[in-house]
Structure 1
Amino acid sequence: MESKWRKAKVALGLNLCISVPRFPEDDPLTVDSAAARFSDAGVTSPLASRLSTPSTPTPSSSGLRLLKTGSKSSKKTCAICLTTMKPGDGHALFTAECSHAFHFHCIASNVKHGSQTCPVCRAKWKEIPFQRSSSDLIHGRARINPVDWPQGGDRWMTLVGRLPPRSDSNRQIASLFHNSEPSSFVDDEPLDPQPESSERSAAAVDAKNIKAEMVEIKTYPEFSAVQHSTSHKNFNLLVHLKAPFTSSRQNSGSSCADSTVSHQTSRAPVDLVTVLDISGSMAGTKLALLKRAMGFVIQNLGPSDRLSVIAFSSTARRLFHLRRMSDTGRQLALQAVNSLISCGGTNILEGLRKGTKVLEERKEKNPVCSIILLSDGQDTYTVTGANPRLDYQSLLQFSPRGGAGCQIPVHAFGFGMDHDATSMHSISQASGGTFSFIEAEGVIQDAFAQCIGGLLSVVVQGLHIDVGCTHPGVRISSIKAGSYTSHVSGDGKTGTIDVGDLYADEQRDFLLSVDVPSSARCMEMALVRVGCMYRDPISKETVNLLGHEVKIERPENVGVCMASIEVDRQKNRLQAAEAMSEARASAERGDLGGAVAVIESCRTALSESSAARAGDQLCVALDAELKEMQQRMASRQVYEASGRAYVLSGMSSHSLQRATTRGDSTESMTLVHAYQTPSMVNMLTRSQTMGPPVGSTHPPPVQPPRFFVAQPQPR
């Protein structure tokens, strides 16, 4: 039998390494059972704990060998389905000419969707694997079959075919978007069924324990005492909110298949849509790193979370409908992501329309939903009008069914130096999401990790703050709430702030300015009452926190009264955010000198504040961030390359008081950490410690392709 295969190899004239399955007449082991598992192995295999690049199998001197049990290949991992490639499980393995190895059915599926390059290193392949129907697997036989090899009547599985001449970008796009797409996206997978009675009672106990924790409200007046005979205009009051934090909610990143019911109910499950740029500029390392980052996201979504994948270039297509991240769901999602190929232009708007459509038309809804948008190029859709934020909001219809408070937050990631930072920032602003600037390509997985670390820890939804004056002479003059919607009544007696969702342990600070009248001498004067209302995403119950009064003393004489450090710290933060916005406007007008002067003036004012003199770390971090912005405005070329995106990402972070990824400066990371939550830190640490190293961007040396079939181990 061996001589027949050697003759076949010589006839092919190819330097190939083949492992031949033993046929029934040669070995009593059942080969048919291995063949039966050949095509569905990727679905039934457990998910590996991390991605890794497989090592290259060592060819024998003759080019023909049988894979031995216990070889080094037993520790390799398929970079597509993330499961271990080891001998004895009956899975066909394919090692390409670039030395990267995969399960055959995984890479054949990748090729089927039009990919002609290695999913790991993006090296162009001269030969590709492709698979016939499962009926051709009778007798478990396999052979290398170039395109010009005569096709006989026997049942064989074609493994490698010579690539046709490379087509143009339009034909590549057609290969990716060739299948018809449903007109309505009502095919989302149903949510997790309700647990059994015994499990339900345990989940109810868990939910009850979580409900005991509520949003914390604290208030700080600018001064604790004001002389009773004087009035005070624009007296500052700080409203500080902190979301509850429970250890049970912080298991949010777990994606183990055997998650318990109590774990699934310990946090609110998520409906996540990823809208990914696959235009021609994403070719090579960028697309490979994007696939790796998406693999991390898929691994860390739980079985109650649902994911959909939208790919866009000159047009957009839904590649993966909204479905739960069970073991099967993860495998299919990974295959969809790894089938991506780069080609065409950049139509961000069309991608967002598809992503929004998925969430609008879903039959069932998880409590939390969001869109992750990544792009590295200029949008081919031109937004018209003076306010691009409003244009995007109307075109994308972020608040469809459900009325106010049902916006779909889009967390936008500008990738590299050539992305459309202005449009991406406008999209995030219009939707209530964040804008991150991924300057270094290798940071993309960490950026995604930080984002989903927050999304998988939502503990408060629809948070609404009410402020009412308790003293008849007190009036609210303004509310400084950043990007959050706020309103002051015409008579100044009441005010509101719509905060929306909060992640576990997340904090918000809002500065109110009130007019305090003179009064008779008294020990205390109540100025305002602050209360809030929100919805618990797990119990679905509405929580009302009654008013928290802010009081000051009104003595006849006031001695030395120190200003509140807490209030001064937030005044510095708001001043820095305003300086960033003003400097950016100057830079866009071409006045970089004026922009730098605005930032320098703000840095000087911060250094003279009470908080800075007291050694406040937020002031130190603000100064470092402003200094970084000055350096990125040194010239028009530097500003266009990275300064604009860096400033916009900083503005997004401060206006929402939420962490974003921006730049690669270590000096400004302290401020980013100031907005990070424990769940973000946990997920980021997981990405940095458990994720695969980025490695070299250069593909490995090209080697002849090798194919082998693992032998079943004897029982």
Structure 2
Amino acid sequence: MGSKWRKLKLVLGLDSCVHIPRAFDDSSSSSSAAARFSGGISPAVVSPPGDTSGYRPSTPTPSSSGLRLPKSGPKSPKGTCAICLYTMKPGQGHAIFTAECSHSFHFHCITSNVKHGNQICPVCRAKWKEVPFQSPASNIPHDMARINQVSPRDEGWTTVIRRLPSPQGEAGRQISSLYHVTEPAVFDDDEALDQQTIISPHKNETDHNVVNTVEIKTYPEVSAVPKSAAHDAFAVLIHLKAPHSGTKPDIDGNSTGSSPVENSRASVDLVTVLDVSGSMAGTKLALLKRAMGFVIQNLGPSDRLSVIAFSSTARRIFPLRQMTDTGRQQALQAVNSLVSNGGTNIAEGLRKGAKVFADRRWKNSVCSIILLSDGQDTYTVNSRPNSGTDYQSLVPNSIHRNNGMGMQIPVHAFGFGSDHDATSMHSISEISGGTFSFIEAEDVIQDAFAQCIGGLLSVVVQELQVEVECVHPHLQLSSVKAGSYQTSLVANARLATINVGDLYAEEERDFLVTVNVPVDKSSDEMSLLIVRGLYRDSITKEMVALEEASEVKIQRPDVRNGELVVSIEVDRQRNRLRAAEAMSEARVAAERGDLSTAVSVLDTCHKALSETVSAQAGDRLCVSLSAELKEMQERMANQRIYEQSGRAYVLSGLSSHSWQRATARGDSTDSSSLVQSYQTPSMVDMVTRSQTMVFGAPQNKRVLRPAKSFPERQRRQ
């Protein structure tokens, strides 16, 4: 026996780690080995019975070059595989591997990870000196054959630990595993969609005869204008609210991989375009993998995911697959195989992402790209922000919004850290119809992703179009303030349309239109506008017209009866638009280096807001806007601060206000992260799920707080 053991050591290397069954000729050796292997492979050589060589296992020392997360950083709970996130218990027919850094994984999970080229611990990022691999028994020398068979599912395979070559000279040759993946010329290998029974979300849960559709409300600036008076730029607020999705995700933190949202919402095709350039090495890449793990675990079996990784070039490392149990496991293994190196080619990453959508054979009704980068595109964009660069070249034509190609694929861009190009990321999101988030603190990335997919997994309205028509024959629309939403005026400015697009469950939109009210002594009442809506139901795919149009009327008394009360709803939205305009003006000044003017613009707006009706009434949105303006002033204190965080903070705010949709802002630790005002219940639930997930939040982890910590949108009676 001792002779065999010494031969084996010579074959594998003295420091190799191999589990030896109690006896080779024992009829129960297979089950015995399984039990011992499930307890974890020792990170040192185990001396077999009868070995008198004097060799004893030594305590391994993790590589000094291995990068570590902080002690308070994310780590798997005891008994949970950090790759597939399922439990590890002896006797379940799964071998368990314990690495030299003491972290344990399912053997089939970690061998797949290693097969893709990853030689770093997925948890602590330590560089391993020994890695597990799996090989057919026929390829192993006779003395090694079947030495580590651990369960019936591994029949005919042996599992051994392979000593890695010295890292000396490896740095120049290390290449991300994405470059070794065979990539087809056409991405038409997407997984076919299952035809599932869909439950419509638009029936009231207690009364099945009540249909829950988009809600439209209108609010005139004042309720009455004297007959003998004219009122220029008379404002009318149009308020929209999407129906609820019918279900809420389970946020108890004990998920076993089931979808948090059932078949009461549209299924999603999601492509993540991830920066794995050299600057992402270490903690950044580890946190990105962890965040992607959360995304993967919370997609439903009818949702599909594809992963694009880019550095100097881009590769599709995971095709468009349904997130069934098998799909999730494969996606997790692909993500965990990523290694950082090279430059930053955002344009190529987006091109590959767009190609996934263009080439697919099957289509889910909701499509989106999540883009994350911590750097500047060094291949397509060569000039500094706002120096005349055409950022259109970064975005493939096929995903430009309003391109007439019938494929609406918004890019939700996430700028990571202080070195990313906020201007290009914001431009990408605007061109495609997505949002731009600024992740200042690295450990907020998972919560930021959670907020985004919380919305994407709750789309209940698509292709929403709002029509505003003048009723009185002497009226014309003088303006339509709809942020980044496409608007058009026709019929001599008597008719306007607003293309709203998709709405998440219970998401709200507010648009302000103005008209010039003329003198009219013919009646005691005047009809100003009528508002209609048409949208596609995301489940049934049918077009739905709102049954009741909303008509706006005002009284026309002979004389003014007392002081007219301005609508608090209209005043609140005026303040929001005024603040957004001030942010945009201040940003222009800051980009030309005139920070004093930028700060002055914000301060003037802040003072103006404090004198409005809604501010004096203690309106929460107005208080929030004031605090946001103050935060921006602080981030424009000098050029260095503006370059590091001010530009990204302002742009993420502009993105949020222009689309009226929540984005991540700064480090999200205080009340200045005010765009959470746009959070929907589904977003709040998903962020809460992220913060209470099974891994547990690190003690000092910055978090995106639930909406209750931020000013909520006022409930309209």
Q: Scaled by the length of structure 2, what TM-score is found?
A: 0.84
Give the Cα–Cα distance (whole angstroms) in 1 for the partners of residues 623 and 506 of structure 2.
Answer: 23
Q: Of Structure 1 and Structure 2, which has the larger fraction of its residues in helix?
A: 1
Cα deviation for residue 521 of structure 1 reads: 4.9
Whether 1:605 and 2:598 are equivalent positions in the alignment is no
CA–CA distance in structure 1, aligned partners of residues 522 and 77 of structure 2: 83
**Aligned pair 1:461/2:459, yes or no?**
no
Match in the other structure for 1:28: 28
Label 1:632 to 1:403 Cα distance change in 2 as closer, same or farther (>3 A): same
Contact map agreement 2:489 2:496 (CA 8 A) in 1: yes
Contact 2:308 2:349 in 1 (8 A): yes
In terms of mean alpha carbon deviation, does 684-693 or 182-191 score higher?
684-693
Is 1:79 the counterpart of 2:82 in the alignment? yes
User: Structure 2: which 5+ residue stretches go unaligned?
Assistant: 48-54, 59-75, 150-155, 701-717
**Could you tell which deviates more after superposition, 328-337 or 667-676?**
667-676
1:333 match: 331
Q: Mean alpha-carbon deviation: is it higher for 56-65 or for 416-425?
A: 56-65
8 Å CA contact 1:74–1:86 kept in 2: the answer is no
- Amino acid of the structure 1 residue aligned with 2:353: G
Deviation, 1:85, is: 2.4
Is the CA contact 1:55–1:76 (under 8 Å) kept in the aligned structure 2? Answer: no
- The residue number in structure 2 matching 1:151 is none
Aligned to 2:274: 276
Q: CA RMSD in A?
A: 3.6
Question: How far 1:128 moved relative to its partner?
Answer: 2.8
Matched, 1:625 2:628: yes
| Distance 1:666-1:104 versus aligned 2 partners, 3 A rule | closer
Counterpart of 1:102 in 2: which secondary structure?
strand
In structure 2, the residue corresponding to 1:533 is in which secondary structure? strand
Quote how far apart the aligned CAs of 1:334 are.
0.4
User: SS of the residue aligned with 1:333?
Assistant: helix
The residue type equivalent to 2:374 in the other structure is D
**Would you say the 8 A contact 1:378–1:420 is kept in 2?**
yes
Structure 2 CA distance for aligned equivalents of residues 55 and 139 of structure 1? 18
Aligned residues: 657
C-alpha change, 1:28 and 1:285, in structure 2 (3 Å) is same
Deviations 1:635-654 (A, max 9, x none): 11111111111110000000
- The Cα of 1:306 is off from its aligned counterpart by 0.4
Spell out, residue by residue over 1:541-583, the C-alpha distance to the aligned partner (whole angstroms, 9 max, x if none): 1111142110000111112101111000000000111111111
In terms of mean alpha carbon deviation, does 91-100 or 566-575 score higher? Answer: 91-100
Matches of 1:210 and 1:259 in 2, distance apart?
A: 28
Contact 2:268–2:457 (Cα < 8 Å) also in 1: yes
What CA distance in whole angstroms lies between the structure 2 residues aligned with 1:155 and 1:194? 38
TM-score normalised by structure 1 residue count: 0.84
**SS across alignment from 1:648:** helix
1:312: how far off? 0.3
Structure 1 match to 2:374: 376
Letter in structure 1 aligned against 2:682: S
Contact 2:202 2:213 in 1 (8 A): no
Which residue of the partner structure matches residue 147 of structure 2? 141
2:411 corresponds in structure 1 to 410
**1:103-162, Cα deviation, whole Å (9 max, x unpaired):** 33322322222223222222222333333236558964149xxxxxxxxxx996441222
> C-alpha deviations, 1:251-282, integer Å up to 9, x for none?
7999766779xx74311110000000000000
Distance change in 2, residues 1:156/1:242 (3 Å): closer
Q: CA deviation at 1:75?
A: 4.5
Q: Which residue pairs with 1:178 in the alignment?
A: 180
Which residue does the alignment assign to 2:212? 213
Give the letter aligned to residue 684 of structure 2. Answer: V
Partner of 1:311: 309
Query: CA contact under 8 A between 2:438 and 2:649: conserved in structure 1?
Result: yes
Query: For the structure 1 residues 334 and 388, does the alpha-carbon distance in structure 2 shift closer, same or farther, using more than 3 Å as the test?
Result: same
Structure 1 residue 308: Cα displacement: 0.3
- Counterpart-to-counterpart distance in 1, 2:176 and 2:693: 37
Q: State the alpha-carbon separation in 2 of the partners of residues 155 and 652 from structure 1.
A: 54
Give the distance between the partners of 1:2 and 1:211, measured in 2 at CA: 80
Matched residue, 2:509: 508
Aligned residue runs from structure 1 range 31-180, under 5 A: 31=31, 63=56, 75-133=78-136, 135=138, 140-142=146-148, 157-165=159-167, 171-173=173-175, 175-180=177-182
- Confirm or deny: 8 A CA contact 1:264 1:304 kept in the other structure: no
Partner-residue secondary structure (3-state), 1:612: helix
For 2:298, the equivalent position in structure 1 comes to 300
- Equivalent in the alignment of 1:654: 657
Give 1:551's match in structure 2, choosing from 539, 550, 553.
Answer: 553
**Contact 2:346–2:394 (CA under 8 A) maintained in structure 1:** no
Of stretches 91-100 and 383-392 in structure 1, the one that deviates more from structure 2 is: 383-392
Kept in 1: contact 2:203–2:210 (CA 8 A): no
Counterpart residue number, 1:485? 486
Contact kept, 8 Å, 1:310 with 1:319, in 2: the verdict is yes
CA apart distance, 1:369: 0.8
Does the aligned pair in 1 maintain the 2:202–2:245 contact within 8 Å?
A: no
**Structure 1 unaligned blocks of 5 or more:** 42-53, 66-72, 144-153, 698-715
Aligned 8 A contact 1:114 1:172 in 2: no
Distance 1:169 1:470, change over 3 A: farther
Alpha-carbon contact 2:145-2:158 (below 8 Å) kept: no
- The 1:599/1:9 distance shift into structure 2, 3 A limit, reads same
Deviations 1:154-211 (A, max 9, x none): 996441222354667774347531344211111100001345xxxx799999999599
Larger RCO of the pair (alpha carbons < 8 Å, separation 6+): 1
User: Conserved in 2, the CA contact under 8 Å of 1:34 and 1:89?
Assistant: no
- C-alpha change, 1:498 and 1:74, in structure 2 (3 Å) is closer
Which residue of the partner structure matches residue 230 of structure 1?
A: 229
**2:462 alignment partner, SS class:** strand
Shift in CA distance, 696/218, structure 1 to aligned 2, threshold 3 Å: closer
What is the aligned partner in structure 2 of residue 541 from structure 1? 542
Write the distance in 1 (CA, Å) between the matches of 2:400 and 2:512: 28
Rounded to whole Å, the distance in 1 between the matches of 2:672 and 2:44 is: 45
Q: Secondary structure at the match of 1:330?
A: helix
Deviation track 1:383-434 (CA, whole Å, cap 9, x = no partner) reads 48947354445x4421599946632010000111111111100000011111
Partner of 1:471: 472
Give me the whole-angstrom Cα distance separating, in 2, the residues matched to 1:478 and 1:189: 47
1:292 aligns to what SS in structure 2?
Answer: helix
1:13-48: per-residue Cα shift (whole Å, max 9, x none)? 84677543345632436449969xx9xx9xxxxxxx
8 Å Cα contact 2:313-2:345 kept in structure 1: yes
Could you tell me how far apart the structure 2 residues matched to 1:593 and 1:166 are? 53
The residue that corresponds to 1:683 in the other structure is: 686
Distance apart, 1:535 and its partner CA = 0.5
Moved more, 275-284 or 126-135: 126-135
The verdict on how the C-alpha distance between 1:194 and 1:86 changes in structure 2, with shifts beyond 3 A counting, is closer
Task: Pick which of 115-124 and 245-254 moved more.
Answer: 245-254
Tell me how far 1:11 sits from its aligned partner: 9.7
Note if contact 2:132-2:159 (Cα within 8 Å) is conserved in structure 1: no
Paired AA for residue 435 in structure 1: F
In structure 2, C-alpha distance between the alignment counterparts of 1:212 and 1:251, rounded to whole Å: 25
Q: Distance in 2 between matches of 1:333 and 1:206?
A: 36
- Partner SS for 1:482: coil
* Alignment-mate amino acid for residue 480 of structure 1: K
Matched, 1:188 2:206: no
User: Separation in 2 of the partners of 1:617 and 1:317?
Assistant: 46
Pick closer, same or farther for the CA change 1:596–1:682 going to 2, 3 Å. Answer: same
Instruction: Give the deviation of 1:661 after TM superposition.
Output: 0.4
- CA distance in 2 between counterparts of 1:155 and 1:614 reads 73
Cα distance change, pair 27–89 in 1 and its aligned pair in 2 (3 A): farther
Q: Secondary structure at the match of 1:412?
A: strand
Are the equivalent residues in 2 in contact too, given 1:228–1:554 (CA < 8 A)? yes
User: Quick one: distance in 2 between partners of 1:405 and 1:74?
Assistant: 46
Mean CA deviation greater in 300-309 or 122-131:
122-131
Q: Name the SS of the counterpart of 2:646 in structure 1.
A: helix
Partner of 2:712 in structure 1? Answer: none
- Native 8 Å contact 1:505 1:677 kept in 2: yes
